[in-house]
Amino acid sequence: MSGHHGIFAGIRRLVLTVALAISAPAVADFSGGEIRIALVTDYSGIYSDALGGGATVAAELAVAELGGEVAGIPVEIEIVDSGDEGFEAAAQARRLHETAPLDAIVGLAGHNPAIALQRFAREAGVVSINTGSTSPALTQRHCSPLGFHWIFDSVAAGGALTGTLSGAGDTRRVMFFSIPRKVQWQTLRKLRTLSRVETFGRLDHDLVIPVNGGEEVREAIRWTYEYGLMGPDVATAFATQLYLSDVRAIGLYHAQGLVMATEFYWNASEPARRWSDEFARRTGSRPTALQAATYSAVRHYLLSVAAAGKDDSKAVAAAMRDRPVDDIYVENGRIRRDGRLVHDLLIARVKRASDSGQPWDYLDVVQRIPGTEVLSGEQDQPCRPRPDA
């Protein structure tokens, strides 16, 4: 299909089919005789590189892998460009739902769109799978009984890095903490308690720099390096929300030695490399963690629809929790009662340019941390959204 890589506003329609080897249920078990998924990605905002058209391609790969239809029922995917406008993204999803009922919303790119879209999905009785926001509120205050959080959140990323922080020895440390403005300082206080990092300390102390994602964190890293505040011989730098596309944009000269938390790296395993090769043939780039998460979420949702034999949201959500998640993005993952996908996090260090052997060969994975050690929230607590959420 053409036109995945340009920037556009509004909605595009992709009609896709997925085939699974299950007994064929009656068409009446599927509302409207089809399975409709809204894929919310970001073609025009700060996450356009990390999500964008690559998320669309990732969803296509999930569909293609499963090979045809779900028990003869076609799958229709609607593409929504969210930018960073929560109300507009939710309004687009609402219009789609009013035209013909949606069965699932996948993506939820960015903090504001994710909150607004999950609220709409909860009210409409639609499954929502977050693969684009690191907000912990999606499994807490703004949770949904039909909602799922596929990627790490900002608290998990900070927790995953605390052990690495303590292992930096006597070297001064700089942390780029990416989180939406309205919740930056609350989360930074939690991180400071965990890691004992001084917030905006003197230059001879550790330094935490709160930034938004995308270009803002890229510029902050370049600036900090140019002014001699970070670098292999100056300070150990850490970033809680950085993607492969960001490293490419920053360049290895400025990013070398930076330590980051991620759930997926294309060169970390043979299955990941094979899948990433196909992704690269279609896009010309290697996938980010968010794009790989989109593939995983769409795949798991469709497999769960097949297991349930219907697209009823409650039945599919139950099947999603019952099924393990095991693919190129997650190994032996499981879903908690609050909708959080429990999976390992990787600690990776950005390579020096001289150590990079091929295009997109940017990271060394130095540690794998079990998700149970860093993911926020209580495992056995079901979703209880606040009345005002």
C-beta of residue 31 within 8 angstroms of C-beta of residue 103: yes
pLDDT given at position 288 = 96
Q: Which whole number is the average pLDDT over 4-12?
A: 40
Instruction: Mean pLDDT check: name the lowest of 2-6, 180-184, 375-379.
Output: 2-6
Is the per-residue pLDDT at 132 higher than 50? yes
**CB within 8 Å of 242: residues ≥ 6 apart:** 176, 178, 217, 258, 260, 262
Calculate what percentage of the chain has a pLDDT beyond 70. 73
Q: Which whole number is the average pLDDT over 323-350?
A: 92
C-beta of residue 237 within 8 angstroms of C-beta of residue 221: yes
Instruction: Mean pLDDT check: name the lowest of 39-43, 52-56, 107-111, 364-368.
Output: 107-111
pLDDT per position as a tens digit, 285-297 = 999 999 999 999 9
C-beta of residue 144 within 8 angstroms of C-beta of residue 339: yes
Is the per-residue pLDDT at 331 higher than 70? yes
Q: Which whole number is the average pLDDT over 313-321?
A: 95
pLDDT given at position 200 = 36
Which amino acid, residue 388? Answer: D
More confident call, 166 vs 229: 229
Q: Which whole number is the average pLDDT over 237-248?
A: 86
Query: What's the rounded Cα separation, in Å, for the pair 18 and 16?
Result: 7
Instruction: Mean pLDDT check: name the lowest of 71-75, 177-181, 342-346, 359-363.
Output: 177-181
Is the per-residue pLDDT at 171 higher than 60? no
More confident call, 114 vs 30: 114
pLDDT given at position 250 = 92
**What are the structural domains, with CATH classification, of the chain?**
11-151+269-342 (3.40.50.2300), 155-262+344-373 (3.40.50.2300)
8-state DSSP, 88: H
pLDDT given at position 56 = 94
More confident call, 171 vs 245: 245
Is the per-residue pLDDT at 210 higher than 70? no
pLDDT given at position 3 = 42
pLDDT per position as a tens digit, 87-104 = 788 888 889 899 889 999
pLDDT given at position 140 = 80
Is the per-residue pLDDT at 158 higher than 90? no
pLDDT given at position 139 = 81
Is the per-residue pLDDT at 271 higher than 90? yes
Query: What's the rounded Cα separation, in Å, for the pair 223 and 205?
Result: 18
Instruction: Mean pLDDT check: name the lowest of 216-225, 354-363, 375-384.
Output: 375-384
CA distance to 2, 122, 144, 252, per residue, from 383 (Å): 40, 11, 6, 42
Is the per-residue pLDDT at 334 higher than 60? yes
Instruction: Mean pLDDT check: name the lowest of 29-38, 100-109, 173-182, 266-275.
Output: 173-182
C-beta of residue 328 within 8 angstroms of C-beta of residue 286: no
pLDDT given at position 137 = 79
The DSSP string of 181-195 is: HHHHHHHHHHHHHHH
Q: Which whole number is the average pLDDT over 343-372?
A: 91
Query: What's the rounded Cα separation, in Å, for the pair 279 and 57?
Result: 7
Is the per-residue pLDDT at 193 higher than 60? no
pLDDT given at position 27 = 54
Instruction: Mean pLDDT check: name the lowest of 121-125, 145-149, 150-154.
Output: 150-154
pLDDT given at position 165 = 59
**Nearest CA among 339, 319, 343 for reference residue 330:** 343
Which pLDDT band holds residue 216 (cuts at 50, 70, 90)?
confident
**Average pLDDT over all residues of the chain:** 78
pLDDT given at position 21 = 43
Q: Global pTM?
A: 0.85
